[in-house]
Amino acid sequence: MKTAKIVIGANFGDEGKGLMTDYFANEAKKQGQSCLVVCHNGGSQKGHTVVTPSGLRHVFHHFGSGSFEGADTYLSCEFIVNPIIFQKEVSELKRKGFITKCFIDRDCRFTTPFDMMINQIVEEYRGECKHGSCGLGIFETVVRSETDESFTVYEFANKSTSAMGAFLDEIAARYVPDRLKQLGIKTIPAKWLEILRNKDNIIKNYIHDFMQMLENVRIVNNDIVDSYDYVIFEGAQGLLLDQNNLSYMPHLTPSNTGIKNPLNIIGKRNPNVEVCYVSRTYMTRHGAGRFDTECNKSDINEKIIDLTNVPNSYQDSIRYGMLILDELKNRIQTDFGNMNGTKSLAVTHWNEYTVNQDELKSLFDGFNIYLSDGMTHDDIYRL
């Protein structure tokens, strides 16, 4: 690893991390360097949109957003794998004519369909007080991983299919009702009881997806980064959703969203590091929780069309807010700290709303500043 680019969301997510990852992968391609995208936090709830200059569009979940530029993907030990969604994405990418190598860390946790069920049952039970979860079982996977009902991807992959089935059956029969009681739900709703009665088919299909996933990946450790010249660390969510941002509890994501995980992987390796913090020209938030600068969409731009962040029953509609530049600077500086490397800021969605460029240059003096007025890497330019 000669070059490391760390792409970090500076707000609540949905900033344009996929776009910047694609941009840096394109730079590596133009330089003739081998490129790897490391997904270092989050899981299948990551939805990073990339549009090629020719108009091909994909929302990346498990694969790195540099895939269209030929970059391979490494899902690090802090990434939570979902074999169901992984296989759907493999099929989508194959239909689009793109599939690159994917490596999964041996210590990755994985989501089961029953983690997703718990997540969705709880959100439905909360009603108007729901947390705004995506319903994909990320937090429930984290909770279960701290119990005896857990294996890593490597451990599970080395079990027989009968042992896999017994493990999943135990989760469905015992862990699910116990966990729901722990969350205050003593009676499983009839709709979900009916689904659980079909658990044998659910387990069979899940094992099939898991085994199919194994045919499309290699299980490795983080030494894989040493096989590439140019490594892009693609973050999920944003700094304001970091699990340690306690003033925003409980509506956070259960992971480190800043530079902590990438630096753990880089370790004593000594690449040239650029940390690129990404923000829209305004702010957005999905789901419930504190949003100090929230405003009406019309205060930003009534004509905004977001094909990725569509309303759903768990997170409802995306919310909008104003971007305060000095607060943005403080968030970035707190995360970056005293590390050695280049600081960058990428400001996306410039075509939908603008900020004062003179103020931006003054406040972020010493930063590389990238601006984007469109959806492709060709629409990015340096300020």
Number of neighbours of residue 181 by Cβ within 10 angstroms: 12
pTM for the full model?
A: 0.95
Return the pLDDT at 310. Answer: 61
Please tell me which residue, 108 or 304, carries the higher pLDDT value. Answer: 108
pLDDT at 311 over 70: no
Long-range contacts of 124-127 (CB under 8 A, 24+ apart): 124/189, 125/183, 125/184, 125/185, 125/189
CB 79 within 8 A of CB 39: yes
Return the pLDDT at 306. Answer: 75
Residues 54-92 have pLDDT tens digits of 999 999 999 999 999 999 999 999 999 999 999 999 999
Number of neighbours of residue 32 by Cβ within 10 angstroms: 8
CB 140 within 8 A of CB 179: yes
With 0-12 / 13-18 / 19 or more C-beta atoms within 10 angstroms meaning exposed / middle / buried, residue 219 is middle
Q: How far is CA 336 from CA 8, 136, 258, in A?
A: 10, 30, 8
Please tell me which residue, 255 or 311, carries the higher pLDDT value. Answer: 255
DSSP alpha helices (H): ranges in 160-223? 161-170, 176-182, 190-196, 199-215
The angle subtended at Cα 296 by Cα 291 and Cα 300, nearest 5°, is 100
- Across 258-278, average pLDDT: 97
Nearest to 364 by CA among 349, 344, 347, 378: 344
Return the pLDDT at 99. Answer: 84
User: Which two three-digit tokens encode residue 94?
Assistant: 């194959």
Residues 122-144 have pLDDT tens digits of 999 887 766 667 789 999 999 99
In sequence order, the 6+-apart residues with CB closer than 8 A to the CB of 131 are: 123, 250, 251, 287, 288, 289
Return the pLDDT at 315. Answer: 58
Q: One-letter amino acid identity for 87?
A: Q
Q: How far is CA 3 from CA 7, 185, 225, 275, 306, in A?
A: 13, 50, 11, 11, 33
- SS3 of 294, please? strand
Residues 332-377 have pLDDT tens digits of 999 999 999 999 999 999 999 999 999 999 999 999 999 999 899 9
User: φ, ψ for residue 371 (rounded to 5)?
Assistant: -120, 145
Residue with tokens 């492709």: 376
pLDDT at 106 over 70: yes
**Cα(30)–Cα(150) distance, integer angstroms:** 43
User: Which two three-digit tokens encode residue 99?
Assistant: 């599939």
Residues 162-198 have pLDDT tens digits of 999 999 999 999 999 999 999 999 999 999 999 999 9
- Backbone φ/ψ region at 251: left (φ over 0), alpha (ψ -120 to 50), beta: beta
Would you tell me the crossing angle of helices 113-126 and 138-145 to the nearest 10 degrees? Answer: 120
Please tell me which residue, 130 or 48, carries the higher pLDDT value. Answer: 48
Q: Is the peptide bond before 113 cis (omega within 30 degrees of 0)?
A: no
State what percent of residues in the chain have pLDDT above 90.
Answer: 91
DSSP alpha helices (H): ranges in the chain? 17-30, 83-95, 113-126, 138-145, 153-157, 161-170, 176-182, 190-196, 199-215, 260-266, 297-300, 325-336, 357-363
Would you give the end-to-end CA distance of the chain in angstroms?
28
**Cα(257)–Cα(235) distance, integer angstroms:** 6
What mean pLDDT, rounded, does the chain reach? 95
